[in-house]
Amino acid sequence: MDDCCCDRDDLDKISKGWSIAMFYSKERLRRVYELDDAQLGKAVEDGKLVLETLCLFVHACIKRGQY
């Protein structure tokens, strides 16, 4: 990993931030669209969770000019 643009601490922070964003994104999808477990599973399969998580992650975890 010597040629990676981020050090290990940054990668750990990114991983933790992504996990937190994914949790809250899943809960938000469930709440906003009133999804049951099956519908939430389908939304995850359709990529809606990734889009929601990415938006939340960028907004909450990455500061301007950080990477």
| Averaged pLDDT score across all residues of the chain | 83
The pLDDT of residue 61 is 76
Which residue bears the tokens 């477990």?
Answer: 37
* pTM beyond 0.75, yes or no: no
* pLDDT for residue 37 is more than 90: yes
Distances (CA, A) of 18 to 3, 34, 35, 38: 22, 23, 22, 23
Question: What φ, ψ does residue 46 adopt, rounded to 5°?
Answer: -80, -5
